[in-house]
Amino acid sequence: MLVPPPGPFDAAVRFITTYGLLNLTHPSDPESKLITNPTGGYEGDFGEIADLSRELGKRLFRIGYDLPDAGIFVVAEDGEFYCIHHAGVHYLGSDEFEFFGNWVKGDMQSV
Mind listing the pLDDT tens digit of every residue in the chain (111 residues)? 555 566 789 999 999 999 999 999 999 999 999 999 998 777 788 899 999 999 999 999 999 999 999 999 999 999 999 999 999 999 999 999 999 999 999 999 999
59 and 76 in contact (C-beta within 8 Å)? yes
Query: Could you give the count of Cα atoms lying within 13 Å of 56 in the half-sphere of its Cβ?
Result: 23
Predicted pLDDT of residue 2: 54
- pLDDT at residue number 97: 97
- pLDDT value at residue 7: 75
> Which residue type sits at 47?
G
Give one DSSP letter per residue of 61-80, joined into a string.
EEEEEEETT--EEEEETTS-
